[in-house]
Amino acid sequence: MKWTYLLINLFTILIPALRSAETKLQFNRKIKYFFPGMIFTAIFFIVWDYFKTKAGVWGFNDKYILGIRFFGLPVEEFLFFITVPYACTFIYEAITIFFSSKIRDGKQRYVLLFLSAWSFAVSFLLVGKAYTFSVLFIGGLVFPIVTLLMPGNSLNIFFITYLISLVPMAVVNGLLTGLPVVTYDDTQNLGIRIGTIPVEDFLYAAILLSMNISLYQWQKNGKPSLLNFK
């Protein structure tokens, strides 16, 4: 059905959108902190998406999309970079409000810095696997910046957010890769899947969420607004 990808996007954002105005959360009032980072991150990912789609590293099944494309990408893909970050930032904000006092900063940033260095180094061993190389290389560059943007226990809250987000990700990405809405050239990845989801997608998701949430937290901390967004 051509509405499938659009419906997946709507399903992704449904509960966060309905509950964003709740008294304790009031996430709707913090949307000004979300949009600048989301726009910046979406532009980054759309450029990445454009080149990888053009190269045939992944593609989109016409059976499950409306057929409206911009720069060769379906309109639903643009929506994906809004709905998924919104839903996961909502989770991050909920954890911050209800559980931050119980979460203490630990060694997470050192672990992330180590993994970043490892990811960056290993990426050069997998240059022939375009998807694998790109997520390892970009992750190696992005994650150290994320550690700088997330002071105190916010980085630990992000890790918890990511782990929780793996549950809806299994549903959403499972549908996208299982039907499939998104198709992959398996010669350009490791060929390892968890269910129907390429293992690289989990790192891709970590990069997407870490950029959005770290920039959201950076804006909340009163830093200059990104993209001159008011």
Q: What is the pLDDT of residues 144-161, one digit of tens each?
A: 999 999 887 899 999 999
Residue 98 identity: F
Provide the b/e sequence for 142-154 (b: ≥16 CB within 10 Å): bbeebbebbeebb
Output Rg (C-alpha) for the chain, integer angstroms. Answer: 17
Residues 40-80: tens digit of each pLDDT: 999 999 999 999 999 999 999 999 999 999 999 999 999 99
pLDDT at 194: 96
Contacts of 224 (CB under 8 A, 6+ apart): none
Give the burial class of 59: count Cβ atoms within 10 A of its Cβ; 0-12 exposed, 13-18 middle, 19 or more buried.
middle
Within a 10 A sphere around the Cβ of 4, how many other Cβ atoms? Answer: 18
pLDDT at 225: 55
Note whether 6 and 76 are within 8 A (CB). Answer: yes
pTM above 0.85, yes or no: yes
Residue 114 identity: F
Residue with tokens 């499972």: 174
